Amino acid sequence: MSAIVLDGKHVAQLTEAALTERVAALKAKTNNRTPVLATILVGDDPASATYVKMKGNACRRIGMESKAIELPSTTRTNGLLAEIEALNNDPDVHGILLQHPVPSQIDERAAFDMIALEKDVDGVTCLGFGRMSMGESAYGCATPQGIMRLLDHYEIELSGKHAVVVGRSPILGKPMAMMMLQADATVTICHSRTQGLEEHIKRADVIVGAVGRPEFIRADWIKDGAVVVDAGYHPGGVGDIEMAPLIDRVAAYTPVPGGVGPMTINTLIMQTVESGEKALG
């Protein structure tokens, strides 16, 4: 069987071309105003700094602007909340990204939930999650929303299928399950402590690895013809799923890297453009 490669890098590039046109049209209509994404980086974690830089580069590629706010690692919760509140009140900022994780002394959930719903382009607030789960208007959490966009681009049918999501994080596993449920899949949520995990996975038509452990999900647990989405990335270029033995026997799979990762940043940028269009249009 020749598996479909769910190429997130390719889909992201196609989307960037369309977004570039939308930003140019918005500038022409609004006397050169553009969507602005504000990124907040607390501390000096090198990986987080790299991710923030990548997001800024993605903004520039499509002609929109980013605003970088860097806070010391000693920042306390109240100080971060004040920064977010100022961005909420800034009419020139259309999206707010708080880079995860933050230093341990900060209440990260309180910080996420300070972000105004209309600027929550990363889909991290409890309010946004609740509205999305109820089928109401909200920006989806960027990684699972990116996965849904990738599946849609390749016309992967979810309706009536059994999807197994391995992982229950509030910004990946849980929203992923809700999005697939909204798409009429029958969803099983598993995690690292699920008993009989192998048997659950063997029944999956669609499997999403989002557990955060390298090759935790073994290839021989996955049935022939399944759709395999790996949302993990670890040193050595491996994901959460043992992928190499699957390539010749599944219907479709995401490469690692180049599958889910590019769609995450791309979705964040796309949702910022949408927010800018609503605010400026």
Tokens linked to 57: 């580069």
Contact indicator for 5, 253 with CB cutoff of 8 Å: yes
Give me the domains of the chain, ranges plus CATH numbers: 31-118 (3.40.50.10860), 142-261 (3.40.50.720)
* pLDDT recorded at residue 1: 62
Separation CA 155–CA 280 (nearest Å): 33
Contact indicator for 254, 8 with CB cutoff of 8 Å: yes
By annotation, the residues acting in catalysis are 55, 99, 122
* pLDDT recorded at residue 2: 84
The helix or strand, by DSSP H or E, that contains position 188, with its residue range, turns out to be: strand 186-190
The tens place of each residue's pLDDT in the chain, 281 residues long, gives 689 999 999 999 999 999 999 999 999 999 999 999 999 999 999 989 999 999 999 999 999 999 999 999 999 999 999 999 999 999 999 999 999 999 999 999 999 999 999 999 999 999 999 999 999 999 999 999 999 999 999 999 999 999 999 999 999 999 999 999 999 999 999 999 999 999 999 999 999 999 999 999 999 999 999 999 999 999 988 999 999 999 999 999 999 999 999 999 999 999 999 999 999 98
The helix or strand, by DSSP H or E, that contains position 95, with its residue range, turns out to be: strand 95-98
